[in-house]
Amino acid sequence: MLDFELSTVVFTIVNLLILYFLLKKFLFQRVNRVMEERAALVKQTMDDAQSEKDQANALRQEYENNLAQANTQAAEILDQAKARGERVYAEYLDKAQAEAKAVREQARAQSQEERDAMLRAAKSEVARLAVMAAAQVAQQSLDNEADRAIAAQFLSEVGEQK
């Protein structure tokens, strides 16, 4: 069966120790160095990613601020345009009302002039008829100037009695 000899055991232990020190010296140092470099690379990549994320957040915040500022400016421009439109509307409304008032005044004055002209024409016609009636009553014809004077006096007396 298996016999354990002391020399074999000691030789195996010495071989294992030599193998361990050789592996440690040549293999483990290089593997450890590669693992440390890999860890440093991962850390650097994570730092770069965090830096880019911070920059992206800063840019996003800047864009949001610019957007908010643009919205505020747009609202101000709209308010100014609305106020300007209301002012223009009020000016046009005032101008239209003034023009309408002037037209009404002009129409009133014109109708008053027409009324006065019609009254003068009616008075003249009444005076002419009154003179004709008086002439027929008196069976005489008066001259035109005297007829008008009598008619005017008659009308003024009648006008005062009203």
Amino acid at 1: M
Task: For residue 24, report the phi and psi dihedrals to the nearest 5 degrees.
Answer: -65, -45
Sign (positive/negative) of CA torsion 141, 142, 148, 151? negative
pLDDT in 10s for each residue of the chain, 162 residues: 567 788 888 999 999 999 999 988 888 888 888 999 999 999 999 999 999 999 999 999 999 999 999 999 999 999 999 999 999 999 999 999 999 999 999 999 999 999 989 988 888 887 777 777 676 666 555 567 777 777 777 777 766 655
Q: What is the pTM of this model?
A: 0.42
Residues near 130 by beta carbon (within 8 Å), at least 6 away in sequence: 151, 154
Angle, nearest 10°, between helix axes 29-138 and 144-161? 120
Cα(88)–Cα(96) distance, integer angstroms: 12
